[in-house]
Amino acid sequence: MFQLPVPVLDANAGSGASAFGKLPEWNLDDLYTGEDAPELKRDLDWLEEACRSFAEDYEGKLAELDANELLDCVLRNEKINQIAGRIMSYAGLRYYQLTTDSGRAKFMSDAQEKITNFTTPLVFFTLELNRLEDDHLANLLSQKADLARYKPVFDRIRAMKDYQLSDEMEKFLHDLGVVGDAWERLFDETIAGLEFEVNDEPLNIEGVLNLLTDPSRDLREAAARELADVFQANIRTFARVHNTQAKEKEVIDRWRGMPTPQTGRHLSNHVEPEVVEALRDAVVNAYPKLSHRYYELKRKWLGLDTMQVWDRNAPLPMEDPKTVSWEQAEKTVMDAYNAFDPRMGEIAAPFFTEGWIDAGVKPGKAPGAFAHPTVTDVHPYVMLNYLGKPRDVMTLAHELGHGVHQVLAAGQGEMLSSTPLTLAETASVFGEMLTFRKMLDGAKTNAERKVLLAGKVEDMINTVVRQIAFYDFECKLHDARRGGELTPDDINALWMSVQGESLGPAFEFMEGYETFWAYIPHFVHSPFYVYAYAFGDGLVNALYAVYEEGEPGFEDKYFDMLKAGGSKHHKELLAPFGLDASDPAFWDKGLSMISGFIDELEAMED
């Protein structure tokens, strides 16, 4: 199956002009110039024939190939991946620009069905590859360096060897994938179509979520209660989607013999379960010194006896509510990137000038933000919903970091460029940290420094504490679904079981907050994705500490790390920096950076 990366939250579209200046919009011509572009028809025709001839030439014969023949087979498979990825990138990006447009939805769905049908005959490739004897494959790889470079791909494919079904069953599941995609689309279109009204103003979900950061506590409360009301009105749909997706996963996992619901994610992330558990335990154990401690400080700053959920992302009383123009946001991020290394700025610059960013908030546009790598012979595209908040500047830095990473990794080719989710956040979080440090260095007053530090701590808590709480919620959800259908109240209770523990005693939870699991796309699109954010943040915090210590040649090592794409395991990538994610102390090193910022904030209180 060829699918888009999951949006982070992540044409007919309206103008990009706004109060923040002229906002850029995508120009997708580098993929295709339109639905009726002759190049698109050419590629679809080529793909259908390429898949047919690939199966004809290789099915049942992989064990007989010599090293040269296996390399040719791999290269043909890679080309098929590239053309299919290009088509789906175009279809998906147009859809995310305007998810409420039925024509775009149909075009994407039709493209997905065609590609699924074309590529079904290719299912044999991974199945037969997994049936090769270890010694036989090792011998072939030793004969040809161009083939040996694909060993990481073979390793990832063969990690599924013990969970592989019969050829016929694998083809059936491949074809059935479009049904799961339909449930994801139902979720996306339901979210994009939700209508909210706060103080008589109609809003989409992005607009009402933005109000949760408004200086007015009354407005934040109104937004939170409106979210709760609308989620409750649609809760049966969201519960049906989650029940169906979790049940589908349980059935497939059971047939494959996977020991836990998380196993598939760990395998695709190329990370050991014990490393994830070490991360999870380190974060949960740190809740009291991270989120609990910070939110107690924030409660005092806000002058409240108890915080409500609508206070969690409230601006601080001393915060300047001015918005940041797009021009200033671009300059801030580009200055930070260039100060680290001009090569980074050079890679980032075309995103702003060549139509590689879609920044405006528009009706029907998908919420959140993401960077889509498309295919290695084009370039990434970044989607934002820019509203001029300081955090939006950080989001720009984050997604641009993804874009830089994807550009650098493209040299690995289609099958080796894609990084596991655990490493995919490296450049994005590092880009955020560079931008934050640049802004912190430029702070003119203690109050300004305090606001910047607090904002960064909140972002890190959202990235680490919140995502691990999300992970725990998902673990509980999938375990519970194995025991039968879950009612909305069942899911609500699971959600609330992790909220108090992660946020701490400073909070009360309004009636209705129990439904706030409903809008988070990762639970539907990509189960257990969320721990990758905490993994990435912890990794980058440890990496940045090495940078601050003045590691010789850090910049070159960092670029080499990004250029490696998915060609190396996390142990190999971190070794040049003297780091090891399998060491439990590694995560404490990363978490200590967050607690250090909180120490500084507490010291400002004296």
More confident residue, 422 or 522: 522
Distance CA 152, CA 568 (A): 7
On the question of pLDDT at 7 being above 90, the answer is: no
On the question of pLDDT at 360 being above 50, the answer is: yes
On the question of pLDDT at 12 being above 50, the answer is: no
The pLDDT of 302-327, averaged and rounded, is 90
Q: How many domains does the chain have?
A: 1
Domain presence at residue 371? no
Angstrom CA distances, 85 to 43, 111, 179, 373, 375, stand at: 11, 11, 19, 10, 6
* Ramachandran quadrant class, 200 (left: phi over 0; alpha: psi -120 to 50; beta: rest): left
Distance CA 590, CA 283 (A): 10
CATH of the domain at 478: 1.10.1370.20
Look-up of token digits 């949960």: 284
The pLDDT of 261-275, averaged and rounded, is 92
DSSP 514-527: GGGGGG-THHHHST
Domain presence at residue 529? yes
Look-up of token digits 């039925």: 102
pLDDT at 10 (0 to 100) = 33
Residues forming a β-bridge with 507: 307
Q: Cβ distance 290 to 594 under 8 Å?
A: yes
Q: Residue 355 is encoded by which pair of tokens?
A: 């139509």
Distance CA 255, CA 150 (A): 29
Q: Residue 325 is encoded by which pair of tokens?
A: 């123009």
pLDDT at 469 (0 to 100) = 97
Q: Which residues contact 531 (CB under 8 A, 6 or more apart)?
A: 276, 279, 280, 422, 467, 468, 471
Q: For 431, how many CA atoms within 13 A lie in the half-sphere containing its CB? A: 31
Q: Please write the tens of the pLDDT for every residue from 473-507.
A: 999 999 999 999 999 999 999 999 999 999 999 99
Look-up of token digits 């200055």: 335
Domain presence at residue 589? yes
Domain presence at residue 345? no
Q: For 155, how many CA atoms within 13 A lie in the half-sphere containing its CB? A: 14
Residue 370, helix vs strand vs coil:
strand
Q: Tally the residues of the chain.
A: 606
Q: Please write the tens of the pLDDT for every residue from 365-416.
A: 988 899 999 999 999 999 999 988 888 999 999 999 999 999 999 999 999 9
Cβ atoms within 10 Å of 323's Cβ, excluding its own: 16
| Percent of the chain at pLDDT exceeding 70 | 97
pLDDT at 367 (0 to 100) = 81
Distance CA 556, CA 96 (A): 36
Angle at 143 between CA 141 and CA 145, to 5 degrees: 70
Closest Cα partner for 3 from 177, 192, 155?
A: 177
Domain presence at residue 488? yes
Distance CA 173, CA 178 (A): 9
Q: Please write the tens of the pLDDT for every residue from 68-126.
A: 999 999 999 999 999 999 999 999 999 999 998 999 999 999 999 999 999 989 989 98
Q: Residue 419 is encoded by which pair of tokens?
A: 């990084």
3-state secondary structure 241-263: HHHHHHHHHHHHHHHHCCCCCCH
Domain presence at residue 315? no
Distance CA 53, CA 61 (A): 13
| Percent of the chain at pLDDT exceeding 90 | 74
Domain presence at residue 353? no
Q: Please write the tens of the pLDDT for every residue from 427-479.
A: 999 999 999 999 998 888 888 899 999 999 998 999 899 999 999 999 999 99
Angle at 197 between CA 212 and CA 97, to 5 degrees: 80
Ranking 25-39, 176-190, 238-252, 341-355 by mean pLDDT, the lowest is 176-190
State the average pLDDT for the chain: 91
Q: Cβ distance 241 to 183 under 8 Å?
A: yes
Q: Please write the tens of the pLDDT for every residue from 318-350.
A: 877 778 999 999 999 999 999 999 999 999 999
Distance CA 245, CA 476 (A): 15
Residue 290, helix vs strand vs coil:
coil
Domain presence at residue 584? yes
pLDDT at 18 (0 to 100) = 52
Exposed e or buried b per residue across 352-375, where buried means at least 16 C-beta atoms within 10 angstroms of its C-beta = beebbbbbbbbebbbbbbbbbbbb
Q: Cβ distance 107 to 94 under 8 Å?
A: yes
**End-to-end CA separation in angstroms for the chain:** 57
The pLDDT of 285-300, averaged and rounded, is 96
Contacts 24+ apart (CB under 8 A), 206-209: 206/361, 206/365, 206/367, 206/368, 206/385, 206/387, 207/361, 209/367
The pLDDT of 198-220, averaged and rounded, is 92
Q: Domain span at residue 502?
A: 263-308+419-606
pLDDT band at 44 (very low <50, low <70, confident <90, very high): very high
pLDDT band at 606 (very low <50, low <70, confident <90, very high): low
pLDDT at 588 (0 to 100) = 87
The pLDDT of 238-266, averaged and rounded, is 95
Angle at 583 between CA 566 and CA 158, to 5 degrees: 35
Distance CA 248, CA 256 (A): 12
pLDDT at 423 (0 to 100) = 87
Closest Cα partner for 13 from 109, 101, 128?
A: 101
